[in-house]
Amino acid sequence: MNSASSEGARPLGHPRPRRLRATPAMRRLVAETRLHPADLILPVFVREGAGEPVPISSMPGVLQHTTDSLKKAVTDAAAAGIGGIMLFGVPEHKDAIGSGATDPEGILNVATRIAVAEAGDALVVQTDLCLDEFTDHGHCGVLDANGYVDNDATLERYRDMGIAQAEAGSQLLGLSGMMDGQVAAVRDALDATGFGNTPILAYAAKYASAFYGPFREAVQSSLEGDRRTYQQDPANRREGLREVELDLAEGADIVMVKPAMSYLDVLADAAASSPVPVWAYQVSGEYAMIEAAAAHGWIDRRRAIEESVVGIRRAGADAVLTYWAVELAGWIR
C-alpha cells in the first residue's frame, strides 16, 4: 500500500461518534434528553375586571385572561397533556400591603377556584405566592418606614397568603418572593391550619435579572426601584446552591432556579445535590428574545424553542415553566 492510500487511514475499530448521528431515527434512539408534555408548566395571567383577553405586547401570543377565557386556557392545557399551570393575578386595585392577595374574592384566589374546578385531575393548579402583583409599590413584601422591604413583616403576609391560596384549592404554592425564612413560615402556617398536605415550590435561587422585563407588563407592575436587596446577584453561583439548601432544610417539596438559560450552571448544581425535584422557569425575557428574533427571520422559531427547553432539561430541570408549554407539547406528543 503506498503512502498516499494509507495516509489518514483509521483502524476499523476506531471510535466514530458520527455513526450514531446518521439518521433521524438513530438520533432519536440515542438521545440523552427527552421532552415530555408532563414536564411542562404553563404560566397563566388572569386580569381582574377584563371584559376580554388582553394581549401582552412584549410577549407575542401571551394574554392576560379573563375569568371566562381562563376556563378555555385550562382545558387546552389539559388536552395538551402538560403537567400544570401556574396562576398569576392582575388586580384592579393595589395597596401598600397587597390586601388583594389574601382576600378570598381577590383575583388570584377567584381564578384558583375556577381553574381547579375546570382542571379536575388533569392538571396541577399552582399559584404564585408573592405580593408584587398586589402592592402599589410593586415590591414583593411590606415596606418599613424607610422604604426597605421588611423581611419578617412580609413573612406574616406570606403566611396569610398561603392559607388563602390553600383554601382556594391551590395544589402547589409557588413561593417566589425571596424572603429569608419564607418556606418555614408558610409551611408552619399550612400545617397549623389543616393544610399539611399542600406542597411548597420554593423559588430557591431567584436572581435579580434583566430578563424579567416583559413580565412587568404582564402583571402591570407598579415597581419603584429594583429588587436587588432580596433577589440574588447574577454574579453569584455558590450562593444559589446555599439558597437551595436553606429552602430544603425548611421543608420545600420542590425547588426552583429562575431565570433558566443564563443560570444553567446554578441549575446543574442544584440538580446534582437536591433530593427533591428541581424545576426552572424560562422567563418572559427569554421568551420575548426568541419570539422577536424569529419574527425578524433571524432564527428558526420552532428549532430555537425546542433547543432552549432541551438545554434547560439537559442541565438538570425535572420540569420547566415556559410560555410555550401548550404549543411545545403539541409538537412533541
- Active-site pick, 71, 72, 94, 258: 258
Note if 72 is an active site residue: no
CB-CB contact of 310 with 273 (8 Å): no
**Measured between alpha carbons, how far is 62 from 54 in angstroms, rounded to an integer?**
9
Q: Cell numbers of 124, please?
A: 396541577
Residue 307 and residue 294: Cα distance in Å, rounded? 14
71, 72, 94, 206: the catalytic one is: 206
Whether 258 is catalytic is: yes
The DSSP bridge pattern shows strands 200-206 and 278-281 to be unpaired
Task: List, by residue number, the catalytic residues.
Answer: 206, 258
